[in-house]
Amino acid sequence: MKENNTIWDHLRKRPVETPDARYFEALTTSILQEQKPKVVPIYRRTIVQIVTAAVAASIAIFIYFRPAPEPPAENVLLALQDIPHEDVLAYVHTHIDEFDIDMLAAAIPSENIETVEIAPASEETVIEIPSDAKADINFENIDNQDILEYLESEEVDLYELDI
């Protein structure tokens, strides 16, 4: 018979052993465990790292490009003490017209304004520069009389100044 001659009658599949249900349950559980989202420490999250880097860069740029702060007036005066006396006097002579009248007036204690007598101004004031003089531009060291004379010569009304 033809049917008996087919190869299928002479081949038999070998049984494949299959594990029991517990195997498949364990396999499923292990795969689901693997698929759980992993907890990433906050410092390792990309977004946190990017933001941190951006903030650090902003701070660095700000520090690099920020305008230098203006030193307080007291610091300026202290710094001026290091300048040789001759240089200071030379500067004052050259820039006498730009001198800050308000500053000069503020240096005079208010109780002295009415008590100090102002001598008539001479035609010309010559400032002697002692070679061994110490540079000290603190207005407390300048005679009030000198300041008032200067202000008088400039026709400044002390009562109109904002001091």
Partner 1 sequence: MQTPPEDKTIIELFQRGGSHAHKAFHILVDQYGDVLYRQIRAIVRNHEMTNDILQNVLLKIYQHLGNFKGESALYTWMYRIARNETLNFLEKEKRRSGVDLDAPVLEILAGHHLLDHLDEERISAWFQEAIDSLPEKQSIVFHLKYFEEMQYNEMSKRLNTSEGALKASFHHARQKIEDFILQRLNHL
Sign of CA dihedral 70, 136, 147, 149: negative
The candidate with the shortest Cα–Cα distance to 125, out of 158, 89, 98, 159, is 89
Among 10, 66, 95, 134, binds partner 1 (CB under 8 A): 10
Would you say 14 or 134 has its CB closer to partner 1? 14
Among 13, 38, 66, 95, binds partner 1 (CB under 8 A): 13
Q: Which helix (H) or strand (E) holds 146?
A: helix 144-153
Among 1, 2, 3, 32, binds partner 1 (CB under 8 A): 32
Would you say 28 or 110 has its CB closer to partner 1? 28
Q: Alpha-carbon distance 70 to 94, whole Å?
A: 24
Among 1, 19, 37, 132, binds partner 1 (CB under 8 A): 19
Please report how close the Cβ of residue 19 comes to partner 1 at its closest, in angstroms.
7
Sign of CA dihedral 137, 139, 123, 119: negative
Residues forming contacts to partner 1 in the complex (CB under 8 A) are 5-14, 16-19, 21, 24-25, 27-28, 30-32, 34-35
